[in-house]
Structure 1
Amino acid sequence: MTITQSDWKTRLGVRFTVDGNETRVFLAQSYVPTFGTSAEPLHSIERTHVGVVATPQSLTFTLSVTAIGPAVAELTALALRGDPFDIVLLEQEGDDWSFSTIVLEQCYITSAAPGSATVSGAPVATFSGFSLAAAVTDTAGTTTKAPQ
């Protein structure tokens, strides 16, 4: 079965864990994990591309959350204290998604931007930061981790 965008029936949720204590899942307005890997060829006078030089991976995220419930307050407190935490993106409903979970471990918030209040809805707070480790698990249960 081919799933098109109009067939998408899955809702994704985000949860975060601090010191082993897991918060309940909340719906994010948007969550953008970014995995950046970099490698350059190692050249030689005699031949080209005799090896590769890999640089550390870049694991960053941007998370926008509606300021309803405790999630925004808890994330803001984490940012102010500088505490590490884990972020998990997972299926909350449905089964259309390719992954079971995407986990960013040992995250730190580097930027927090509470949104302005509007007449028509709740404000949205945006958090950005980086992660020291990552793991993805597909729907078959295979987990792949970013090298550390």
Structure 2
Amino acid sequence: MSSWTNTRLAVVVDGQTGTPLTPIDSFSPTFSLNTEVIHSIEATHVGLIANPDSFTFSLSVKAIGGAAAQLTSLALKGTEFSIGLYEQSGSTGEWDFSNIVLTKCVITSASPSNATVSGAPVATFSGISRHVGIDNDAVQRPTFTA
């Protein structure tokens, strides 16, 4: 069974996989591959019109150590980044995808949480990805040592 302690998702800017911007605490992608069915008087589903694909996401990071400020700066500048998968050296592979899967990402909104007495505040960022690569289509993941 996977332990989820040997891999992390991280924000990578300008392809600098050796120095990720920040690890991601939670990540929720949404893929919308829209089509519109074409009907006729004689039959149904005679064809389809494919609309542009839509790839959106929501990610959360702890608002400590400058991570939230750096992501806010990316949002304000419109800087593109990638969501990368980092695997610890010697890990057995705990994820379905083995490479960076979302590239050319842009943040569209930010929502910081209130400060609490216990625990670190969390900042949530929503955005879009202009390119999605699957396994062989994307950049190889780097490794790190524990």
Shorter-chain TM band? 0.7 to 0.9
Q: Could you tell me the TM-score, scaled by structure 1's length?
A: 0.76
| 2: CA distance, partners of 1:96 / 1:20 | 23
Contact in 1 for aligned 2:12/2:21 (Cα 8 Å): no
Look up the match of 1:99: 97
Indicate whether 1:9 and 2:9 are aligned: no
Q: Which has the higher strand share?
A: 1
One-letter amino acid matched to 2:111: A
Cα shift readout 1:41-96 (whole Å, capped 9, x = no counterpart): 21122322111111111100100001233322211110111222222245455523
Look up the match of 1:41: 37
Contact in 2 for aligned 1:91/1:97 (Cα 8 Å): no
Q: Could you tell me the TM-score, scaled by structure 2's length?
A: 0.77
Contact in 2 for aligned 1:37/1:58 (Cα 8 Å): yes
| 2: CA distance, partners of 1:107 / 1:9 | 28
The 3-state SS of whatever aligns with 2:123 is: strand
Q: Which of the residues 55, 59, 63 maps onto 2:59? A: 63
| 2: CA distance, partners of 1:14 / 1:26 | 9
One-letter amino acid matched to 1:67: A
Q: Which of the residues 13, 16, 27 maps onto 1:21? A: 16
| 2: CA distance, partners of 1:87 / 1:143 | 14
Contact in 2 for aligned 1:13/1:25 (Cα 8 Å): no
Indicate whether 1:32 and 2:25 are aligned: no
| 2: CA distance, partners of 1:95 / 1:25 | 22
| 2: CA distance, partners of 1:33 / 1:89 | 14
What are the within-5 Å matches in structure 2 for residues 76-115 of structure 1? 76-92=72-88, 94-115=92-113
Moved more, 112-121 or 59-68: 112-121
Q: Which runs of 5+ in 2 are unaligned?
A: 139-146
| 2: CA distance, partners of 1:132 / 1:68 | 28
| 1: CA distance, partners of 2:134 / 2:54 | 15
Compute the displacement of 1:25 (Å): 6.7
Contact in 2 for aligned 1:40/1:54 (Cα 8 Å): yes
Q: Which runs of 5+ in 1 are unaligned?
A: 1-6
Indicate whether 1:53 and 2:49 are aligned: yes
The 3-state SS of whatever aligns with 2:98 is: strand
The 3-state SS of whatever aligns with 1:78 is: helix
Contact in 2 for aligned 1:91/1:100 (Cα 8 Å): no
One-letter amino acid matched to 2:52: P
